[in-house]
Chain A
Protein backbone atom coordinates (compact mmCIF):
# COMPACT_ATOMS: atom_id res chain seq x y z
CA UNK A 1 0.00 0.00 0.00
CA UNK A 2 1.29 3.41 -1.00
CA UNK A 3 1.51 5.90 1.83
CA UNK A 4 0.53 9.45 0.93
CA UNK A 5 3.12 12.08 1.84
CA UNK A 6 1.92 14.41 4.62
CA UNK A 7 0.50 17.69 3.35
CA UNK A 8 2.32 19.86 5.88
CA UNK A 9 5.95 19.89 6.95
CA UNK A 10 6.97 19.07 10.50
CA UNK A 11 5.95 21.92 12.78
CA UNK A 12 4.32 23.85 9.93
CA UNK A 13 0.65 23.70 10.82
CA UNK A 14 0.63 25.92 13.96
CA UNK A 15 1.66 28.94 11.88
CA UNK A 16 -1.73 28.78 10.12
CA UNK A 17 -3.73 28.53 13.36
CA UNK A 18 -5.41 31.95 13.00
CA UNK A 19 -6.68 31.06 9.54
CA UNK A 20 -7.85 27.62 10.62
CA UNK A 21 -9.84 29.29 13.42
CA UNK A 22 -11.85 31.21 10.84
CA UNK A 23 -15.07 29.35 10.04
CA UNK A 24 -14.81 30.44 6.38
CA UNK A 25 -11.32 28.94 5.96
CA UNK A 26 -10.89 26.19 8.57
CA UNK A 27 -8.78 23.11 8.04
CA UNK A 28 -10.24 22.45 4.59
CA UNK A 29 -9.57 25.95 3.32
CA UNK A 30 -6.04 25.85 4.70
CA UNK A 31 -5.44 22.55 2.91
CA UNK A 32 -6.67 24.14 -0.33
CA UNK A 33 -4.19 26.97 0.20
CA UNK A 34 -1.40 24.45 0.80
CA UNK A 35 -2.27 22.52 -2.37
CA UNK A 36 -2.66 25.71 -4.45
CA UNK A 37 -0.31 26.86 -7.16
CA UNK A 38 -0.33 30.57 -7.82
CA UNK A 39 1.45 32.52 -10.55
CA UNK A 40 2.23 36.12 -9.64
CA UNK A 41 3.27 38.25 -12.60
CA UNK A 42 5.16 41.29 -11.34
CA UNK A 43 7.23 41.61 -8.17
CA UNK A 44 6.82 45.38 -7.87
CA UNK A 45 4.39 47.54 -5.91
CA UNK A 46 1.33 45.29 -6.11
CA UNK A 47 3.33 42.08 -6.26
CA UNK A 48 5.11 42.89 -2.98
CA UNK A 49 2.14 42.57 -0.59
CA UNK A 50 0.52 39.86 -2.69
CA UNK A 51 3.64 37.70 -2.47
CA UNK A 52 4.25 38.40 1.22
CA UNK A 53 0.69 37.59 2.31
CA UNK A 54 0.30 34.54 0.06
CA UNK A 55 3.54 33.07 1.37
CA UNK A 56 2.54 33.87 4.95
CA UNK A 57 -0.84 32.21 4.27
CA UNK A 58 0.90 29.00 3.23
CA UNK A 59 0.08 28.89 -0.49
CA UNK A 60 1.97 25.75 -1.47
CA UNK A 61 3.74 26.89 -4.61
CA UNK A 62 4.25 30.45 -5.79
CA UNK A 63 5.80 31.21 -9.15
CA UNK A 64 6.92 34.81 -9.51
CA UNK A 65 7.81 36.40 -12.84
CA UNK A 66 9.62 39.69 -13.35
CA UNK A 67 12.55 40.77 -15.53
CA UNK A 68 13.48 43.85 -13.50
CA UNK A 69 16.04 44.41 -10.75
CA UNK A 70 15.67 46.32 -7.48
CA UNK A 71 16.38 50.05 -7.73
CA UNK A 72 16.36 52.81 -5.12
CA UNK A 73 13.13 54.41 -6.38
CA UNK A 74 11.33 51.06 -5.88
CA UNK A 75 11.84 51.11 -2.12
CA UNK A 76 9.26 53.88 -1.52
CA UNK A 77 6.52 51.25 -2.08
CA UNK A 78 7.90 47.81 -3.01
CA UNK A 79 8.25 46.62 0.56
CA UNK A 80 9.32 43.08 -0.32
CA UNK A 81 12.73 44.41 -1.41
CA UNK A 82 15.42 46.09 0.69
CA UNK A 83 18.37 48.45 0.65
CA UNK A 84 20.70 45.44 0.97
CA UNK A 85 19.30 43.90 -2.23
CA UNK A 86 19.64 46.93 -4.54
CA UNK A 87 20.63 45.73 -8.01
CA UNK A 88 19.46 42.16 -7.37
CA UNK A 89 16.87 40.57 -9.67
CA UNK A 90 13.44 41.29 -8.14
CA UNK A 91 12.39 37.65 -8.33
CA UNK A 92 15.49 36.60 -6.37
CA UNK A 93 14.97 39.39 -3.83
CA UNK A 94 11.35 38.24 -3.48
CA UNK A 95 12.43 34.62 -3.05
CA UNK A 96 14.76 35.60 -0.18
CA UNK A 97 12.01 37.64 1.51
CA UNK A 98 9.44 34.83 1.19
CA UNK A 99 11.86 32.21 2.48
CA UNK A 100 12.33 34.42 5.54
CA UNK A 101 8.58 34.49 6.20
CA UNK A 102 7.64 30.91 5.39
CA UNK A 103 10.25 28.30 4.49
CA UNK A 104 7.51 25.73 3.81
CA UNK A 105 6.37 27.51 0.65
CA UNK A 106 7.96 26.54 -2.65
CA UNK A 107 8.92 29.72 -4.51
CA UNK A 108 9.82 29.50 -8.19
CA UNK A 109 11.54 32.69 -9.39
CA UNK A 110 11.40 33.31 -13.14
CA UNK A 111 13.57 36.23 -14.22
CA UNK A 112 11.99 36.97 -17.58
CA UNK A 113 9.57 39.19 -19.39
CA UNK A 114 6.28 37.50 -20.17
CA UNK A 115 5.69 36.56 -23.79
CA UNK A 116 2.93 34.40 -25.29
CA UNK A 117 4.82 31.09 -25.26
CA UNK A 118 6.19 31.60 -21.79
CA UNK A 119 2.76 32.70 -20.52
CA UNK A 120 1.05 29.51 -21.73
CA UNK A 121 3.75 27.33 -20.12
CA UNK A 122 3.67 29.23 -16.82
CA UNK A 123 -0.13 29.32 -16.56
CA UNK A 124 -0.67 25.60 -17.20
CA UNK A 125 -1.58 23.86 -13.95
CA UNK A 126 -1.99 27.03 -11.87
CA UNK A 127 -4.91 27.39 -9.47
CA UNK A 128 -4.94 31.17 -9.88
CA UNK A 129 -2.95 33.78 -11.77
CA UNK A 130 -2.34 37.24 -10.32
CA UNK A 131 -1.76 40.22 -12.57
CA UNK A 132 0.50 42.68 -10.77
CA UNK A 133 2.20 43.97 -13.90
CA UNK A 134 2.86 47.57 -14.81
CA UNK A 135 1.76 47.83 -18.44
CA UNK A 136 -1.37 47.22 -20.50
CA UNK A 137 0.13 45.13 -23.34
CA UNK A 138 1.38 42.55 -20.79
CA UNK A 139 -1.97 42.67 -18.99
CA UNK A 140 -3.78 41.86 -22.26
CA UNK A 141 -1.29 39.11 -23.13
CA UNK A 142 -1.80 37.55 -19.70
CA UNK A 143 -5.59 37.88 -20.04
CA UNK A 144 -5.61 36.09 -23.41
CA UNK A 145 -3.41 33.29 -22.08
CA UNK A 146 -5.50 32.81 -18.91
CA UNK A 147 -8.72 32.84 -20.94
CA UNK A 148 -7.32 30.20 -23.30
CA UNK A 149 -6.24 28.04 -20.34
CA UNK A 150 -9.47 28.58 -18.37
CA UNK A 151 -7.55 29.81 -15.33
CA UNK A 152 -9.01 32.72 -13.28
CA UNK A 153 -7.02 35.95 -13.35
CA UNK A 154 -7.09 38.26 -10.36
CA UNK A 155 -6.05 41.64 -11.66
CA UNK A 156 -5.06 44.82 -9.85
CA UNK A 157 -3.85 48.10 -11.31
CA UNK A 158 -2.93 51.47 -9.84
CA UNK A 159 -2.55 55.05 -10.96
CA UNK A 160 -1.20 57.81 -8.67
CA UNK A 161 -3.83 57.65 -5.85
CA UNK A 162 -6.35 55.19 -7.30
CA UNK A 163 -6.63 51.50 -7.92
CA UNK A 164 -8.79 48.98 -9.79
CA UNK A 165 -9.34 45.38 -8.81
CA UNK A 166 -11.41 42.51 -10.22
CA UNK A 167 -11.43 38.81 -11.02
CA UNK A 168 -11.43 37.97 -14.74
CA UNK A 169 -12.86 34.48 -15.20
CA UNK A 170 -14.77 33.93 -18.46
CA UNK A 171 -14.69 30.14 -17.96
CA UNK A 172 -17.07 30.72 -15.04
CA UNK A 173 -19.18 33.53 -16.50
CA UNK A 174 -17.18 36.58 -15.38
CA UNK A 175 -15.82 38.98 -18.01
CA UNK A 176 -12.23 39.03 -19.21
CA UNK A 177 -10.06 42.14 -19.43
CA UNK A 178 -10.93 42.63 -23.10
CA UNK A 179 -14.68 42.57 -22.28
CA UNK A 180 -14.16 45.46 -19.90
CA UNK A 181 -11.46 47.41 -21.72
CA UNK A 182 -11.48 46.38 -25.38
CA UNK A 183 -9.61 49.47 -26.56
CA UNK A 184 -5.99 50.13 -25.57
CA UNK A 185 -5.55 53.85 -24.79
CA UNK A 186 -2.93 55.78 -26.76
CA UNK A 187 0.56 55.62 -25.23
CA UNK A 188 0.37 59.09 -23.61
CA UNK A 189 -2.70 57.99 -21.63
CA UNK A 190 -1.13 54.76 -20.35
CA UNK A 191 -0.08 56.42 -17.10
CA UNK A 192 2.63 54.46 -15.28
CA UNK A 193 4.06 54.87 -11.79
CA UNK A 194 7.35 55.86 -13.42
CA UNK A 195 5.83 58.65 -15.50
CA UNK A 196 3.13 60.00 -13.18
CA UNK A 197 4.15 59.00 -9.64
CA UNK A 198 2.29 56.88 -7.11
CA UNK A 199 1.53 57.25 -3.42
CA UNK A 200 3.69 54.68 -1.65
CA UNK A 201 1.01 53.00 0.46
CA UNK A 202 -1.44 52.66 -2.47
CA UNK A 203 0.00 49.39 -3.85
CA UNK A 204 0.03 48.19 -0.24
CA UNK A 205 -3.73 48.78 0.01
CA UNK A 206 -4.59 47.30 -3.37
CA UNK A 207 -2.03 44.50 -3.08
CA UNK A 208 -3.36 43.45 0.33
CA UNK A 209 -6.87 43.45 -1.12
CA UNK A 210 -5.62 41.26 -3.97
CA UNK A 211 -4.04 38.87 -1.47
CA UNK A 212 -7.32 38.72 0.47
CA UNK A 213 -9.29 38.00 -2.71
CA UNK A 214 -6.77 35.32 -3.69
CA UNK A 215 -7.04 33.64 -0.29
CA UNK A 216 -10.86 33.76 -0.52
CA UNK A 217 -10.85 32.43 -4.09
CA UNK A 218 -8.57 29.50 -3.23
CA UNK A 219 -10.19 28.65 0.11
CA UNK A 220 -13.71 29.09 -1.28
CA UNK A 221 -14.64 31.74 1.28
CA UNK A 222 -17.21 34.54 0.96
CA UNK A 223 -18.12 36.47 -2.16
CA UNK A 224 -15.47 36.91 -4.82
CA UNK A 225 -15.02 39.86 -7.18
CA UNK A 226 -16.60 37.77 -9.96
CA UNK A 227 -18.51 40.34 -12.08
CA UNK A 228 -17.53 43.29 -9.91
CA UNK A 229 -14.89 45.93 -10.50
CA UNK A 230 -13.67 47.62 -7.37
CA UNK A 231 -12.38 51.20 -7.63
CA UNK A 232 -10.45 52.58 -4.69
CA UNK A 233 -9.58 56.26 -4.38
CA UNK A 234 -7.03 56.81 -1.62
CA UNK A 235 -6.95 60.59 -2.12
CA UNK A 236 -10.65 60.96 -1.31
CA UNK A 237 -10.91 57.88 0.90
CA UNK A 238 -13.63 56.24 -1.19
CA UNK A 239 -14.27 52.77 -2.55
CA UNK A 240 -16.92 52.00 -5.15
CA UNK A 241 -17.90 48.87 -7.01
CA UNK A 242 -19.25 48.57 -10.52
CA UNK A 243 -21.21 45.61 -11.84
CA UNK A 244 -19.42 44.34 -14.95
CA UNK A 245 -20.41 41.68 -17.45
CA UNK A 246 -19.09 39.66 -20.37
CA UNK A 247 -19.24 41.21 -23.83
CA UNK A 248 -20.86 39.01 -26.49
CA UNK A 249 -18.52 40.47 -29.10
CA UNK A 250 -15.35 40.12 -27.04
CA UNK A 251 -12.41 39.29 -29.35
CA UNK A 252 -10.71 37.28 -26.57
CA UNK A 253 -13.44 35.30 -24.79
CA UNK A 254 -16.51 35.80 -27.03
CA UNK A 255 -17.96 33.19 -29.42
CA UNK A 256 -16.30 34.89 -32.43
CA UNK A 257 -12.89 35.23 -30.81
CA UNK A 258 -9.79 35.02 -32.91
CA UNK A 259 -7.58 32.19 -31.75
CA UNK A 260 -3.98 33.32 -31.32
CA UNK A 261 -1.72 32.35 -34.19
Chain B
Protein backbone atom coordinates (compact mmCIF):
# COMPACT_ATOMS: atom_id res chain seq x y z
CA UNK B 1 0.00 0.00 0.00
CA UNK B 2 1.22 3.51 -0.82
CA UNK B 3 -0.07 6.98 -0.01
CA UNK B 4 -1.15 9.07 -3.01
CA UNK B 5 -2.60 12.58 -3.19
CA UNK B 6 -5.61 12.78 -5.50
CA UNK B 7 -6.66 16.14 -6.98
CA UNK B 8 -10.02 16.83 -8.57
CA UNK B 9 -10.86 19.70 -10.91
CA UNK B 10 -14.05 21.28 -12.29
CA UNK B 11 -17.14 19.07 -12.19
CA UNK B 12 -15.21 16.21 -10.61
CA UNK B 13 -14.46 18.42 -7.64
CA UNK B 14 -18.03 19.63 -7.53
CA UNK B 15 -19.40 16.09 -7.48
CA UNK B 16 -16.93 14.79 -4.90
CA UNK B 17 -17.18 18.04 -2.91
CA UNK B 18 -13.45 18.04 -2.15
CA UNK B 19 -10.57 19.50 -4.14
CA UNK B 20 -8.17 16.80 -2.94
CA UNK B 21 -7.78 13.80 -0.73
CA UNK B 22 -4.92 11.60 0.44
CA UNK B 23 -5.54 7.88 0.16
CA UNK B 24 -3.79 4.59 0.84
CA UNK B 25 -3.98 2.38 -2.20
CA UNK B 26 -2.54 -0.73 -3.79
CA UNK B 27 -3.89 0.19 -7.26
CA UNK B 28 -1.36 -0.66 -9.94
CA UNK B 29 -2.71 1.63 -12.67
CA UNK B 30 -4.86 4.74 -13.03
CA UNK B 31 -7.74 2.53 -14.23
CA UNK B 32 -7.40 0.40 -11.08
CA UNK B 33 -7.38 3.55 -8.97
CA UNK B 34 -10.55 4.85 -10.65
CA UNK B 35 -12.26 1.49 -9.97
CA UNK B 36 -11.19 1.77 -6.32
CA UNK B 37 -12.31 5.42 -6.04
CA UNK B 38 -15.75 4.56 -7.43
CA UNK B 39 -16.31 2.37 -4.37
CA UNK B 40 -15.40 5.07 -1.83
CA UNK B 41 -18.78 6.85 -1.85
CA UNK B 42 -21.82 7.61 -3.95
CA UNK B 43 -20.23 10.96 -4.75
CA UNK B 44 -17.12 9.29 -6.12
CA UNK B 45 -19.26 6.83 -8.08
CA UNK B 46 -21.18 9.77 -9.62
CA UNK B 47 -17.96 11.63 -10.43
CA UNK B 48 -16.42 8.68 -12.25
CA UNK B 49 -19.61 7.36 -13.86
CA UNK B 50 -18.47 8.53 -17.29
CA UNK B 51 -14.68 9.05 -17.18
CA UNK B 52 -14.10 8.89 -20.96
CA UNK B 53 -13.73 12.67 -21.22
CA UNK B 54 -11.62 12.99 -18.07
CA UNK B 55 -7.82 13.28 -18.37
CA UNK B 56 -5.26 12.39 -15.77
CA UNK B 57 -1.87 13.81 -14.83
CA UNK B 58 0.65 11.80 -12.80
CA UNK B 59 3.02 14.02 -10.86
CA UNK B 60 1.91 16.89 -13.13
CA UNK B 61 2.53 15.08 -16.42
CA UNK B 62 -0.32 14.07 -18.74
CA UNK B 63 -0.84 10.29 -18.76
CA UNK B 64 -3.29 7.60 -19.87
CA UNK B 65 -5.62 5.57 -17.68
CA UNK B 66 -3.48 2.51 -18.48
CA UNK B 67 -0.38 4.15 -16.92
CA UNK B 68 1.33 2.56 -13.93
CA UNK B 69 1.15 4.25 -10.54
CA UNK B 70 4.55 2.90 -9.51
CA UNK B 71 6.42 5.70 -7.74
CA UNK B 72 3.62 8.23 -8.35
CA UNK B 73 2.86 10.66 -5.51
CA UNK B 74 0.13 12.81 -7.03
CA UNK B 75 -2.74 11.99 -9.37
CA UNK B 76 -4.82 14.84 -10.82
CA UNK B 77 -8.09 14.24 -12.66
CA UNK B 78 -9.31 17.07 -14.88
CA UNK B 79 -12.05 17.39 -17.52
CA UNK B 80 -12.19 20.00 -20.27
CA UNK B 81 -13.69 23.27 -19.09
CA UNK B 82 -16.30 24.91 -21.27
CA UNK B 83 -17.11 28.43 -20.17
CA UNK B 84 -15.74 31.70 -21.40
Contacts and interface: CB of A to CB of B under 8 A. Distances in A.
A242 B62 contact: yes
A213 B80 CA distance: 20
A181 B9 CA distance: 14
Nearest to B12: A189
Interface in B66-84: 76, 78-84
B81 to A, nearest CB: 4
A36 B33 CA distance: 47
Contacts, number: 99
Contact of A159 (B10, B53, B57, B61): B10
Contacts of A162: 9-10, 13, 81
A231 B84 contact: no
The secondary structure that dominates the B interface is mixed
Interface in B1-43: 7, 9-11, 13-14, 19
A196 B11 CA distance: 10
Nearest to A206: B84
A78 B84 CA distance: 10
A231 B78 contact: yes
A47 interface: yes
Interface residues of A, number: 45
Contacts of B83: 45, 134, 157-159, 191-193, 196, 198
A242 B82 CA distance: 18
Given A133-B84, A189-B79, A198-B83, A242 B57 contact: yes
Given A185-B53, A240-B60, A240-B76, A163 B81 contact: yes
Nearest to A133: B84
B2 to A, nearest CB: 21
Nearest to A236: B19
19 contacts: A47-B84, A133-B84, A135-B82, A157-B81, A159-B83, A162-B81, A164-B81, A180-B55, A181-B79, A183-B53, A185-B53, A189-B53, A189-B79, A191-B83, A192-B82, A240-B60, A242-B78, A243-B57, A243-B60
